[in-house]
Amino acid sequence: MSVISMKGNIKYAITLDPGVWIFDDRKFLFNQDLVTKKPAIDSEIEAIDQERQIREGNILPPTLQSEKKYKKQKMLEGTFAIYFEPFLNNAEPNPTATTCIFHSVDGKHSFSLEEAGKLLFCFCKNGKPLRKGGPIHVYSADGIEPITNVTEIVII
């Protein structure tokens, strides 16, 4: 199963498709060893690129071309994750909702809504979608063991 349904005590039931997150600007390079640290924002890097283009003109110096090649390489070989919080916010949990339950092949894993918003979804490893244990691996801030084989998310 490559999509995950999100339902329960929410205003909008949502279907999450990790296959399209590679195009999402909210994704970031994921390093399992650094799970507890907040990722750098790519918009700062993009702002620097725009300033550089204004300063150097519309010509493409060799460094800009190699930087674009590096970004493409990073996309093809990178391991990416995305925070769960924007998806949780889009579903609009009802005021009575308190808990988020991740159903997986291994059982159920419960988090408070506040904790759930801080979870990371790893969806791509070495440039490839997660097949084994996928479609996502859910990491908490402690980063110890991910929740794998997630089939459904229920808000109660």
pLDDT in tens, 53-96: 666 665 555 565 566 665 666 667 789 999 999 999 999 999 99
Tokens of 20: 């399209």
Rounded-to-integer distance, Cα 8 and Cα 1, Å: 20
pLDDT of residue 45: 53
Q: Per-residue pLDDT for 6 more than 90? A: yes
pLDDT tier at 44, thresholds 50, 70, 90? low
DSSP for residue 10: B
Prediction pTM value: 0.72
Rounded-to-integer distance, Cα 88 and Cα 127, Å: 26
Q: What is the CATH number of domain 4-37+78-155?
A: 3.90.420.10
Q: Per-residue pLDDT for 153 more than 50? A: yes
Rounded-to-integer distance, Cα 9 and Cα 142, Å: 27
Share of residues in the chain with pLDDT > 90 (%): 52
Give per-residue pLDDT as tens, 92-119.
999 999 999 999 999 999 999 999 999 9
Comparing 13 with 1, which gets the higher pLDDT? 13
Contact (Cβ atoms closer than 8 angstroms) between residue 26 and residue 82:
yes
List, in sequence order, every residue forming a beta bridge with 128; answer none if it has no partner.
125
